[in-house]
Structure formats: structure tokens, C-alpha cells
Structure 1
Amino acid sequence: MEGTTTVGNTPLSLRLLKTSKQRRKTMSTISKDSLKTSLLKLECHFTWTLLKEHVGLEALEETILDHIKFVVEYNIRDYNILSYVCHLKNSNEEALRSLRKAEEAIQKHHPGEIARRSLVTWGNYAWIYYHMQRYEEAQTYVSKVEDTCKKLSSAAHRKIQLPEIYAEQGWALLRFGNHYFERAKNCFENALKSEPDNPDFNAGYGIAMYRLEDWGGRNGDEFTPCLEALKRAVELNPKDTTILALLALKLQRLHRGDEGEKYIEEGLQKTPDFPVFLRYAANFYRKKGEVNKAVEILKKAQTLTPNSVFLHHQLGLCYRFKVTQLKKTRFTPREEVENLIQHAIFHLKTVIDKKPVFFSAYADLASVYALGKRYEEAEEIFQEVLQRNDLPCGEKQEIYFHYGNFQHFHMKSESKAIKYYIASLKMEKDSYGRKKCSEAVEKLLTEKIKSSLGDATDIGTLGLVYKLNGKKQEAIECYKKAIALDPNCEEYQNALVELQLSISS
């Protein structure tokens, strides 16, 4: 073609156009990478490593919405975490709507320090726009955060360390469950360094300590001293009946139930229609053995928050307790028992459907099926949870304990019960479930051996239990007795030699 300069077989104008496009693309990539680097420096839900596999998103969303409805003063952090949950559910437009509501709450509650209080909200905005590939808007919010940080701190290029941001992170971590309790405690500790008398920070710290103790008690760890933390939080904010209820439950654990009940009664006077308090009050009365009162309180709470997973779980436990009590009576009313079993099954199945990572609820449901002699369904539930890839070690050990009990007491198979108790012991984690399995299998084997029903296998198995629990001398004695009864068993001989060498070395 005349008037067209070519280089090789490609017109120069086309080569220039391609080069220009490549340059723009390279610049765009550099800009996007730079934006991502800036985003990672922000303090918000997207940088706090909150993983969706640790929660049931539907259940968490319902919990947050219920909290927004009943606890207006904390709407800012509720809308912020709700925006993150919406993003995890691939609803970015809904996430943006939540952030706009957070902004409205900031303007209403903190009109004098809007920029400072908006840092987490703006960080979430930036990340959501980034995921929507709206990079200019993402950069706008990054710049807003950076400009505000420069005004608030001389360390402009580091993550800003404000107590209210530490606290908001702590509350978010608590919402995401037991994997995060230790980190939550640390966040509140950092917030309290700046404001030791802040009621909200003390409340968060008290709850984190309580959760750690609750989980630690189940997992064999040392108890954390949460009693003083809860008392301090109650002193600073006597109106916070959530803390009041946790203090009551803690006192109940310490066998000071009468003292704890006074706090529950006080809470019922102060906030008779606050569902978060009501669920803890019901928990208190269930543990006290007043199950009818617990059910009455739970049903009231359910009229206020009908979708609460916690309420469904508590109701399921209450109905199961009623079944076990009725079965102890001389004349068990069959229809009443069946009706209670159906109620328990309904509530516990609802828990699993709404929050599939509520692993202990599977064992609770299986135990109800077993009470109703529906053994195949119980077996299905146990297998369903044990085959899950996301079942944490400590919780798997606890499931093994319940499954071993199911095999022992319902299926009358001591050998299978022993197998699953020992499967728990072979897992290295020191947990509540492992401790319970150890106690159960030691008791079962010792009773068999004492009653003269035990053979070399039982004595050797007890030796293995002692060995797995680090009781080497007891294990050696068992293996010697087992070998005396079965001299040709290489397994016992090898185990004995290994133990003797480990002691002498």
C-alpha cells in the first residue's frame, strides 16, 4: 500500500499501536501491583486473616443482623464485618451497602472524629472495589486512609496502631470462632494498653478470656484466669448483661452457682428482651438442671431471633436431657419420649444445616438418634463428620470419644469402642477429647482384666494405652504380663524392648 511504512511485513503504525498497548498494559500491571501492596498495609477485615472455612457464613450473617437489631451502639463494627461476610458470599454490591450504613453510623455517633473512626471502613471499601476491578475507586480509599494516617501518626508507612482498631479486630476474631480466641485476647490487651478503663475493650477482653477458658477446658490446656477480667468489665459497665451472664456461668463452673444466679436474675430484670443475654441465662439454668425454665427462656429468645443457631443447639440439648431423664423413670411414657426425640433431632439438624462447621453438634445429633434406637442414622452422622477434611484434630478426638461410647454402650461392641478410643490417643494433640478417650479405655480394659475376662490381647492393649500416654513403667509391666500369657507375640516383645531401651538411654 502506498504511503505506508513497513518494518518486515508489519506496518509501522500497527507496530507503534501494539507497542503503545503493551506499554499501557505494563503500566496498568505495575499500578495494580502497587495498589495491592498498599492494600496489604491496611488494617481491616481483609488483612486480618479471617477464613470462611472456620465459620458458617449463613449463620454468621444472621448473628450479625440480629446484633444490629438489638445493639445499636455497636452498629459500626457490625456493618464493617457484615460487609466482609457479604464479600465472602460473593455479594460485593451488598457489601458496599453495608459500608454505607457503617459510614452513616460513624457520622451519627462520632461526628467530631469521622476520619479516625472510618479507617477500617475505608480499608474495606478499598478491598471490595479492588475485587470488583474498580481500581481507581480502590486507590481513592487507599489514599484516604494514608492521608489520615499521616495526620494521626508520624509513622505514615507502617500500619497505624489505634486502640479502637485493635478492639475492632478483636471483636471480628471472636466472631470467627475458636481458632481465633488467642489472637482476639492479644488484640484487646493491646487496646487496653492505651485505654485501660475503656468499658468496651474490657468487655472484649473478658469475653476472649472466657472463650479461651471454655475452649481450653475442652482441649486440656491450662485454664485462663478470666474471673477477674469479667468482674472488671461488669464494674465498668453494669448495663452490659452479656458480661453479667458470662460472669454468672463462670461462677457456676466454680461451684458458686447461687452467687452466679443472682447475676442472672439481675440481668433478667435489666434486659428481659435481649436475646444474647437470654441464651446465656437459659444455658445457666440447663446446667443447673432446671431444663423446663431453660426451654421457656430459649423459646422467648427464639421469638426475637428465630434463626439463631445457638438457640437451636441449646434447645436440642435441653430436649435430649429431658429424654435421658425420662428413660431413668420406671415407666417411660413412650409417646412423650418420641416427641422429645423428634424435637431434639429437628433443632440439631437445623444447627448442622445452618453451620456445617459446628462439629460437636454432629455428635449431639448422633447421640439423640442412639437414644431413640435409630442406630443406622446415628452411624451415618458419625461417619459424615469423621470423613470431613476440615475436622480439626482436637474436635476429631472428641468425636472419637462419642463414637467409642456409641459402640460401647449402644452397639455393645467393646472391641470397636477400644479401637476408636485408641485412634484418638494416637493423635498427638493433648485435648479434652483425648483425655476422655484415655479415661474411658483405661477403665474399660482395667475392669475386663480385673474381672478375669481379659486375655493377653487386653493386657497388651492396656500396655499400648500406657505407652501412648507416656506411662512407660506401667506399659512395661503390662507387656511383661501379656508376653507371659502369649510368649510368641512379636508385637509385645518388640514394644517391650523399645520401651526398655527408651528408659535406659
Structure 2
Amino acid sequence: MPDLENRIFDEIEFLDTKYNVGIYNLLAYVKHLKGQNEEALKSLREAEDLIQEEHGDQSGMRSLVTWGNYAWLYYHMGRLAEAQTYLDKVENTCKKFANPSSYRIDCPQMDCEEGWALLKCGRKNYKRAKACFEKALEMDPENPEFSTGYAIATYRLDGFTGATQMSKAFCLNTLKQAIRLNPEDAYIKALLALKLQDVGQEAEGEKYIEEALTNTSSQTYVLRYAAKFYRRKGSLDKALQLLQEALKATPSSAFVHHQIGLCYRGQMIQIKKAANCKPRGQDRENVNRLVGLAIDEFQKTLTLRPTFELAYVSLANMYAEIGHYRKAEDTFQKVLYMKIIDDCLLQEIHYQYGRFQEFHLKSEDKAIIHYLKGLKAENMSYTREKLLNALEKLAKRRVHQNECVVESFSLLGLIHKLKGQVSEALVCYEKALRLADHLNTMF
């Protein structure tokens, strides 16, 4: 709740958009849940004022959600006469548009309102949000607001662990369409830049980032995404500079703190690579210092947003880096016990925990268990490829060292099967069966 409220306030203050009505409605709901009903009413009044400013000619249709929220809120406050007043407003508007139901209307603006609310409330709602904007666009394909919402929903769904080339291309098209209809939207340009970077068009992406940074619109958000772009490019000092600017405006942003932590981690990795993974003296001191800074940032992230799953993984890996294995294990367990419905996210968590078991705790058996758990989620993704490769390397190493050979050939058979390499899978399974028979005759 505190994180959602912080993100709502950040959006109201720093995101320059024509589509702010929904965010005031959502803020009213958050205020109600906190028991601040008068504050909730104030937020609904602000939503109403915005509707009058932006949609004077369509204010009745655009006010339906806000009026419904007024009725709902007054009902829960026990002010039934006022609740009825707003119910009447809804009914009259629905009748005006010859709707068969007194309190429900099927129109693209309603789908759009629902899409924005779902988009703000976490990963599990992104597919539903996308469907809402998709439905709205069917009715009005050239609507800038519907196009923007659809592009953002598509970007978020596409953006976690490497979607297919087809989905990446589709996401690029939705972002380009949104920019065509909203040419001054710096926020969308920053998202397009990141997606271009994803598909290997970094130089073109950087042009959009530079263009977005010169625009005063939505600067705090642009700084965040520009920093992410430069972090992934390897320009970590520049990324940190941009993030520090963003932090001045939004000190309670879990996203910004997490990105700062990832930059410190990136600097640590650069030092280790330069020292062939054996830093000594000053290099070792710098590694430890950067790990400490990263840990501080990831801890701040989780204080602000206790449901940020990947931040637990980031924090656990930093504990492991300096040998604090008990803290790393405890942190991994917290995220492993969370109810996660996103398959791509589950794959990443099991992959990272498997690596922790394999390389830090030297427990290959537990590593195999978690690599296999990650592969149970059948989504085709970049992380799934990493899981298959990690499992394959481990199994081949065991075969080479003559350890658990029957199980290792069985694993290699499974890996080939999952890769669609049927003949190679059969060869490995046959080797496993022959070895098992040989062992049985020996004993």
C-alpha cells in the first residue's frame, strides 16, 4: 500500500500526461482503504475537475467511473442520500445513450479507465490491462490515449526475461504507433529506446533517449529509463548520475533505488572481470565497498516495496558475493515462499537460486532440483535458455568426472528433449539404460 501510494503521487506530480483522471480515482480508493474518506472525496473532486477541463463535451460519459466511485464511497460512509444522487447521475447518463442497463454501459472509454487502473496495480494485472486497451482500440483505433495504454501494457508484458522475436517486433510496432499519435510523449520515447536496445538496435534507441532527455516533459520518468538504458549499455557512471537526479525528485521510488543497486553491482562486476575474477588489494576493497553500497540500495528497495521479487534475488546475490551465505539463503527463502504466478519470474528465481547452490554452497543436487523446477514453467524465454544451458553444463561436468553418470545421461536426455532434439535425447537415454543395466549386473 505505501509503495502504491508513493507511485500514484509520483505519477500525479512528475508524469506529464493528458490521462490523469484515472490516477485520481485510484488515489481515492487508496485513501478509503487507509480510512481517510474525506481525503478520498477530495481526490474524486480533483478527478471531476480534470474531466471538465479535458472532456467538456464528453464529460457525462467520462464521469461515469468517478460518479460510480462517489456512490460507492458515500455508501460506505453511511451517507445514503448522497450515494443515491450519484447513482441517479449514472442512471441518467446510461439512459441518455439508450443503454439497456441502468447502471452499466459498454464503451471504449470505460475499457480504457479499467486498463489504466489494472496497469497501476502490479504485474499480475498486465494481461487484463492489455485486453482492456485492445478492446477500446477496436472501437477507436486512432485514439491517442488508448494507443498509449496499449503500448505501455505490451511493453511491460514483453519486458521481463526476453520474449520471442515476434513479440518483440509486435511491441516495437505498438510503441511506434503510440509515438505517431503522441509525438511529444517523452515517456513513450524512452520505452521505445529500451525496446530497440532489446532487439540489438542500440544506436537507434540512443537517439530516442537523447531526444527524450532534451524534452522537459515527464523528466523524472525519462531519467529513470535513460539510466536503465545506459546501465545496460555499460555506461554505469552516466547511469548513476541520471539516477541520482531522479532520486532528488522521488526519494521514495523503489524502482530508482533498485536501479542504483544494479549499477553498483555492475561496477563490481567490471572490477572482477578486469582482475580475472580474483581481485586483490585495492580491487578487493573496491569490490567490497560496491557490494556494501548495492546491499544498502536493495534493502531500501525492499523497505519501500516488500513485494519486489527480483530485489530479493539481487540482495541475496550480493550477500553471497561477500560470503554471507546464511543471509543469502534467508533472503532467497523469502522470495521462494512468495506466491508468484508469473512463469518468467519463477524461472529467473529458480535459476538464480540454483546458481547460488551450485557455485557458492557447492550443492549440485540442490542446484539440479531448482534448475528443473524453473523448467517446469514452459514459457519460452531467455531465462529458460539459461536454465537449459546451466543444467547441461552441470550434467556434462558430472559425466566427465564420472559422477552420478546414469542420472547425468538421463538429464542430458531430458535437456535434448526439451530443446526438440529427439535423436540426441534417445542416444543419451539409451546410454543411461545401458549403464544402469551394467551397474545392476555388477551388484
Cross-structure match for 2:8: 64
Q: 2:223 aligns with which of 248, 262, 278?
A: 278
Alpha-carbon RMSD across the aligned residues, in angstroms, is 2.7
Q: Does 1:185 align with 2:130?
A: yes
> What is the CA distance between 1:314 and its match in structure 2?
0.8
Name the residue aligned to 1:395. 345
Change (3 A) 1:303 1:352: same
TM-score (norm 2): 0.89
Bigger drift between 316-325 and 455-464 goes to 455-464
Residue 363 (structure 2) pairs with residue 437 (structure 1): no
2:321 to 352, 371, 376: 371
- Contact 1:359–1:391 (CA under 8 A) maintained in structure 2: no
Q: 2-side partners of 1:458 and 1:270: how far apart?
A: 56
CA gap 1:141/1:216 in 2 versus in 1, 3 angstroms: farther
Return the match for 2:119 from 174, 188, 192: 174
Give aligned pairs, total: 434
User: In structure 2, what is the Cα distance between the partners aligned to 1:393 and 1:429?
Assistant: 7
Equivalent in 143, 151, 155 of residue 88 of structure 2:
143
Q: CA deviation at 1:347?
A: 1.5
What is the DSSP-based 3-state SS (H/G/I as helix, E as strand, rest coil) of the residue aligned with 1:448?
A: helix
**Structure 1 contact 425–469 (Cα < 8 Å) conserved:** no
1:296 aligns with 2:258: no
8 Å contact from structure 2 (residues 124, 342) kept in 1: no
CA distance in 1, matches of 2:417, 2:58: 62
Matched AA of 1:129: Y
- Opposite residue 363 of structure 2, the aligned amino acid is S
Q: Which residue of 1 aligns with 2:357?
A: 407
Q: What's the counterpart of residue 198 of structure 2? A: 253
- Do 2:346 and 2:377's aligned partners in 1 also have CA atoms closer than 8 Å? no
Gaps of 5+ in 2: none
1:93-112 alignment to 2 at 5 Å?
A: 93-112=38-57
CA contact (8 A) 1:445 1:462 kept: yes
Q: Could you tell me how far apart the structure 1 residues matched to 2:126 and 2:327 are?
A: 34
1:342: which partner in 2? 292
| Runs (5+) with no aligned partner, structure 1 | 1-56, 491-505
Residue in structure 2 matched with residue 358 of structure 1 by the alignment? 308
- Considering only CA atoms, is the larger Rg found in Structure 1 or Structure 2? 1
Contact (CA 8 Å) 2:133, 2:146: kept in 1 or not?
Answer: yes
In structure 2, the partner of 1:82 is 27
How far 1:241 moved relative to its partner?
A: 0.2
Q: 2:178 aligns with which of 233, 245, 256?
A: 233
User: Where does residue 333 of structure 2 map in the other structure?
Assistant: 383
CA contact (8 A) 2:161 2:383 kept: no
1:3 aligned residue: none
Query: 1: distance between equivalents of 2:79 and 2:19?
Result: 29
Query: How far apart, in 2, do the equivalents of 1:231 and 1:141 lie?
Result: 40
Q: Partner amino acid for 2:398?
A: K
Superposition deviation, residue 118 in structure 1: 1.3
For 2:434 and 2:34, how far apart are their aligned partners in 1?
63
Q: 1:333: which partner in 2?
A: 283
1:118 aligns with 2:56: no
The question of whether the paired residues in 1 share the 8 Å contact of 2:185 and 2:217 is answered with no
Deviation for aligned residue 1:150: 1.0
Q: Is the 8 A contact 2:70 2:83 kept in 1?
A: yes
- Partners in 1 of 2:134 and 2:343 — Cα distance? 28
Counterpart in 2 of 1:41?
none
Q: Does 1:310 align with 2:260?
A: no
Moved more, 191-200 or 358-367: 191-200
- Conserved? CA contact 1:61–1:85, under 8 Å: yes
Maintained 8 Å contact 1:227/1:247: yes
SS in 2 for 1:153: coil
Report the Cα offset of residue 466 of structure 1. Answer: 5.1
Normalising by structure 1, report the TM-score. Answer: 0.78
Cα distance in 2, alignment partners of residues 247 and 224 from structure 1 = 11
The CA distance in 2 between the partners of 1:145 and 1:379, in whole Å, is 54
Secondary structure of residue in 2 paired with 1:155: coil
Q: Does the 8 Å CA contact 2:168/2:195 hold for their aligned counterparts?
A: no
**1:402-444, Cα deviation, whole Å (9 max, x unpaired):** 0011112222222221122123234566665444322210222
After superposition, the Cα gap between the structure-2 partners of 1:465 and 1:151, relative to the gap in structure 1 and judged at 3 Å, is same
Superposition deviation, residue 399 in structure 1 = 1.0
1:441-486 Cα deviation digits (max 9, x unpaired): 0222124324655622322343455567776654443333223223
Pairwise mapping of residues 475-490 of structure 1 onto structure 2 (< 5 A)? Answer: 475-487=425-437
State yes or no: 1:206 paired with 2:156. no
- Give the SS at the match of 1:486: helix
Contact 1:173 1:184 (C-alpha < 8 Å) held by counterparts = yes
